[in-house]
Amino acid sequence: MHPLVSAIHDVARHDPGKAAIRWRCNDLPYAALDRLIHTRALAMQLKGIRAGDLVAFDSVPGPETMVTAAALWALGAAAFPFQSLPDGPLPAHAILQGVTGFMHPEGDYIKAATTSGAPSGRPSPVASLWLQQRTGRPASPLKEQQFTDILERSEKRFTLSTRTSLALTSLVQPESLLDLWAVLAAGGTVDLLNDYDTLQGHGLLQHLGESEADLLIVPATLPQRLGASSGSVFAQFRDIVVTEPLDVRDRTVLADAFPCAIFHQWDTTTGVESMNEDCPASS
């Protein structure tokens, strides 16, 4: 079984009522998340999804994307989340990567006409998650062993089983691996705010202030948004992970907003163990 699906199942057995995902002031316990994953996996199997398929689906705010990806992994399939525009066409990169089929938002599985362009024939178990990189970069596969390594090293570095992470990043970006997948695999709680890009300034500040999270991965636009509301302080955060190079102004904004946090500079093309502790105001 995929390491994340197995880990969620284990937590659901031992601590079923523990909050896995916090979404819009409601907690989804591990037991409920586990049931959703396996119910979704059974439905997908009945629709014709099989081990080795590479399945593209539209990533939407909330736990749905997490459940869909994990259900695919439970079947031994690979997940390709993407973000589409309302009434827009499917992204060309999903088709070019040779996906086996597409999950329609209403639940139907639409098989692709051909998979001759798939990078490695049948993508799983070689890859369990295909990640849409930042704009202008090609999609890339995350192999299951890489996935396991990220989870294990993140747990050792941050003791994630006792943490609540505020997930501001997009679910189709690799930076989300730490603040969502790794925290859940360790038995922690994810405060999911992945409609961050559309949240108005005051709402974002309110959520940052009221969140019980103590771990945050910083989206590239956060310093600018915080800079527009100078004076806001969020002292509950203990660890801040920065994945983009920041100029002096942005670094100062973060240092002022998160005065009690240790900052970790992470190049996401390298392993978690290569993170640097880096005070944002020091350079």
Same domain, 163 and 254: yes
Copy the structure tokens of residue 236. 């509950």
Q: Is residue 21 part of a domain?
A: no
Predicted confidence at residue 97, as pLDDT, reads: 57
Boundary of a domain, candidates 142, 159, 184 = 142
Over residues 209-220, the pLDDT tens digits come to 989 999 998 888
Q: Are residues 154 and 127 in the same domain?
A: no
122 and 195 part of one domain: no
DSSP code of 178?
I
Quick one: pLDDT at residue 116? Answer: 46
* Least confident stretch, 80-94, 132-146, 222-236, 243-257: 132-146
Give domain status of residue 201, yes or no. Answer: yes
Whether 57 and 111 share a structural domain: yes
Q: What percent of the chain has pLDDT above 90?
A: 33
**Domain presence at residue 221:** yes
Q: pLDDT tens digit string along 235-275?
A: 999 999 988 888 899 999 999 999 999 999 887 777 777 78
Which pLDDT belongs to residue 73? 92
The pLDDT of residue 200: 76
Of 22-36, 122-136, 165-179, highest mean pLDDT: 22-36
Residue for token digits 């009221």? 210
Residue 156 and residue 272 share a domain: yes
* Confidence label for 89 from pLDDT (cuts 50, 70 and 90): low
> Tens digits of per-residue pLDDT, 10-36?
999 999 999 999 988 899 999 999 999
* Structural domain contains residue 25: no
Separation of alpha carbons 242 and 255, rounded Å: 12
Boundaries of domain holding 210: 146-277
Per the CB < 8 A criterion, the answer to whether 21 and 192 are in contact is yes
Q: Are residues 81 and 166 in the same domain?
A: no
Considering the domain architecture, whether residues 119 and 35 belong to the same structural domain is answered as yes
Q: Do both 126 and 238 map to the same domain?
A: no
Query: Of the candidates 97, 125, 142, which is a domain's last residue?
Result: 142
Please compute the mean of the pLDDT values over residues 166-176 and round it to a whole number: 68
For residue 23, tell me if it sits in a domain: no
Query: Kindly report the CA angle at 109 between 66 and 177, in degrees rounded to 5?
Result: 20
Running DSSP on this structure, what letter comes out for residue 161?
Answer: G
Between 197 and 115, the more confident residue is: 197
In a domain, 224, yes or no: yes
One domain, residues 248 and 175: yes
CATH number of the domain to which 110 belongs:
3.40.50.980
**Confidence label for 121 from pLDDT (cuts 50, 70 and 90):** very low
Q: Which two tokens stand for residue 190?
A: 């994810």
Q: What is the CA radius of gyration of the chain?
A: 19
> Both 75 and 129 in a single domain?
yes
Give yes or no: residues 157 and 223 share one domain. Answer: yes
**Is the whole-model pTM more than 0.75?**
yes
Shared-domain flag, residues 137 and 150: no
- 16 with 29: CB under 8 angstroms? yes
Q: Is residue 5 part of a domain?
A: no
Number of structural domains found in the chain: 2
The 10s digit of each residue's pLDDT in 144-165 is 777 788 788 888 889 999 999 9
Q: What is the pLDDT of residue 132?
A: 46
Q: Both tokens of residue 1?
A: 């079984």
User: Could you tell me which of 7, 8, 47, 25 has the C-alpha nearest to residue 206?
Assistant: 25
Specify the pLDDT at position 135.
42
Last residue of a domain, one of 106, 122, 142: 142
| 7 located within any domain | no
Residue 1 is which amino acid?
A: M
Residues facing residue 36 across a β-bridge: none
What mean pLDDT is reported for the chain? 80
Given a cut of 50, is residue 123 above it in pLDDT? no
pLDDT of residue 128 exceeding 80, the answer is no
